[in-house]
Amino acid sequence: MAERRVTVGWPEGLHARPASIFVCAATAAGVPVTVAKADGNPVNAASMLAVLALGAKGGEEIVLASEPEPENSQNAADAAVVLDRLAKLVAEGLDELPESF
């Protein structure tokens, strides 16, 4: 399982607009991704309701994870790239998805 720990860069946390940006990115990722508070249970990162329910605040640490299919080594490489991109998005608190995402 690939995992990244990242501090939420949006001052308002993963709420409303930032959550929407994050969920769109996770949905577009092409690999299953989960998100959790550092001490919490993981939820589907592509679910707006699940991400909002986390209640992740600005400055809190969250954990992004993806478990690629074992028989697909390309999928594992894709998962690592996706997690890096999502981690950067969250850490920088971007106001919109980069065009290259």
In angstroms, the CA 1 to CA 30 distance is 16
CB–CB of 26/45 below 8 Å? yes
Extract the tokens encoding 88: 């950067």
Residue 15 annotated in active site: yes
Catalytic residue chosen out of the listed positions 15, 24, 50, 60: 15
**Upper half-sphere CA count for residue 49 (Cβ side, 13 Å):** 0
Neighbours of 2 (CB within 10 A): 19
Q: Would you say 68 and 78 are in contact if contact means Cβ atoms under 8 Å apart? A: yes
**Catalytic residue positions?**
15
